[in-house]
Structure 1
């Protein structure tokens, strides 16, 4: 049996694995599914339909699976899916999706999500990300793997943040942030690439040099976006394992709908 504090309230329609722990005064609603080894802190509220995977740690006062803050929402059974091994700190709020999108807000695996972070409806958060205190992702925002969002940073609805990007403290993000880039400020500016992050993730010197070259073509040569994409594509075959990095950037640019931060 799950270890449930006697003051917690768990709806009979919730499904908790045998090794789940639930702290005092927590509220687990119907349609909530929680995987093995996950710990729910005191005073948390989890509303279904939602799935929370294995070995997550949810600190006190988090509210997960809440109804979307969207006036068009009319009670449809949308969902929140959270993967494995995430750490979710105090007072975080994650909303379910809406029928205007896929109907599911998704959080991947191995994310470090600090206090007071808000994930609005239909957010798609990847794996291994870090969201610092009070980071706020509006509806339909997509964040790629290994991205870092600084404290008090707001990301406008429908924006995309690419893999390995880093958003500085208190940034105002109203356009898409390409992979590998470091951005900050209001208005937002691109400072360079996330070289230290790439080194920590095992990128070779040559791959980091390739990313620097792509940044130069995109931001320092005065090229149109289309010409920059062509020049970046021409770099293929030059660096071992570098073609995947080129594809990551080119795919992101092709999918951008709000224009990129430049």
Structure 2
């Protein structure tokens, strides 16, 4: 995660920065080396742009906003604007965008609120595609991809290497576990386990993110172990807490399994996204593909 205790900028524009003549950069903004700011963009007084940040045309950066090294922000995007919260009274809440993240056209990232933890954070090496919205107090870890028109309500937490498909909507306070995938046009109202795959309106677990697991080097044996845990937790009968205890007893020494179990046991405001019903043949086909 980006350092949320970063000091204020020095209020200077580095000599190597390139500012279009029509750009408006407020006195007090910090513009680092080799930054480029395009036509008709506006940079607020408390903004800090680290080295190599590229700001396209018609971009707005407001509030106490820190943009990390090498970030690219495309035409019409806005970062650090006030939260869509009627209780907000212009308190000095913050926005942080991590290094090398790409923010595409017309995406919006709102600053934190006093009703939350006062900070909206986007990690390093993320891709925020066209027209995506990140609401106040959201926390995105590293390598997160939001496809076009994704909508995140306030206080959403997304762990590393998550992919959210186009047009998906995530309810406020939802948690999305590491390396999971959210299908396009899904409406997600509850927490998604690490390595999970969800789809639908309202979204339900459809299995594990098998493609992501393979891409990140999980062995066939490890994937089968995770599938066994998934089937125990979400396909078996009986009391869920008993199945949770059984999964820990049988597989709790596996780090990925321990991560899933810890996620499930963590405090949640939205509950846990559960599996949809599938026909036995469909489940067998999924097992064969693993």
Q: TM (normalized to structure 1)?
A: 0.95
Say what the alpha-carbon RMSD is for the aligned residues. 1.1
Q: Gaps spanning 5+ residues in structure 1: where?
A: 238-242
Report 1:200-211 matches (<5 A): 200-211=215-226
Asked if 2 retains the 8 angstrom alpha-carbon contact of 1:175 and 1:258, the reply is: yes
Question: 1:207 and 1:30 mapped to 2: Cα distance?
Answer: 51
1:249 equivalent among 260, 263, 279:
260
| Pair 1:154 & 2:164 matched | no
Pair 1:105-2:120 in alignment:
yes
Spell out, residue by residue over 1:22-70, the C-alpha distance to the aligned partner (whole angstroms, 9 max, x if none): 1111100011001111111111000020100011111110010000000
Q: Secondary structure at the match of 1:184?
A: strand
1:84-95 map, 5 Å? 84-95=99-110
Counterpart of 1:9 (choices 10, 14, 24) is 24
Which of the numbers 251, 259, 262 marks the counterpart of 2:271?
A: 259
The aligned length equals 257
Residue 212 of structure 1 deviates from its aligned partner by 1.0
Deviation at 1:18, TM superposition (A): 1.3
Aligned to 1:206, what secondary structure does the other structure show?
Answer: helix
- TM score, norm. by length of structure 2: 0.86
Asked whether the 8 Å contact 1:46–1:65 carries over to 2, the reply is yes
Query: Among 150, 162, 180, which residue is 1:165 paired with?
Result: 180
Question: What residue is the counterpart of 2:252 in the other structure?
Answer: 236
Residue pairs, 1:173-184, within 5 angstroms: 173-184=188-199
Shift of residue 79 of structure 1?
0.3
**Aligned-partner SS, 1:50:** strand
Q: Offset of 1:247 from its aligned partner? A: 2.3
Deviation, 1:228, is 2.5
Is 2:230 the partner of 1:219? no
What corresponds to 2:76 in structure 1?
61
Structure exhibiting the larger radius of gyration computed from Cα positions: 2
Q: Which runs of 4+ in 1 moved over 3 A?
A: none
Q: What runs of 5+ residues in structure 2 fail to find an aligned partner?
A: 1-14, 275-290
Structure-2 residue corresponding to 1:240: none
